[in-house]
Amino acid sequence: MAQWHKNEEEWVNGDWHTLNAGEMEQEFESNMKVVNQVFRYFRERDQYKEIFEVAQDLKTKIDKFKPYVPLAVALRKDGMADRHWSEITKNVGFEVAPKEEFALKDIIEMGLTDHIDICEEVGERASKEYNIEKSLRKMKAEWE
């Protein structure tokens, strides 16, 4: 439980530019799986009511965090450039751009979870463009 709180704090308030969304997603999925197993196990055992309550509290916190994971993954894709942030801004109707001292909490406070489809679409396109550009640079270097 302490590790979850430490991770959540780091993910939400840490520097956006260094957030590794892939690792965050893996760690989140692992935590969610474990807490769900613990929750189910202790739910039916009255003699462990206190443990169940702790598991229930942690499960509630993890469930609350769940919508932020795909959002962070989409917006931290390799290749996200100013043009992609501008496209998101245009589509959602308000300024969205990672500035200095930017964190996941800023993304959450902006309400981008309501626009996850747009974010995932733009993030996926940014990633594909990045991979194409990377392949082109590699081919050019090989030709030279």
Mean pLDDT (the chain) is 91
Asked if 97 contacts 75 with a C-beta cutoff of 8 angstroms, the reply is: no
Extents of the domains making up the chain? 2-143
- pTM, entire model: 0.85
Asked if 23 contacts 69 with a C-beta cutoff of 8 angstroms, the reply is: no
Residues 24-51: tens digit of each pLDDT? 999 999 989 988 888 888 877 777 888 8
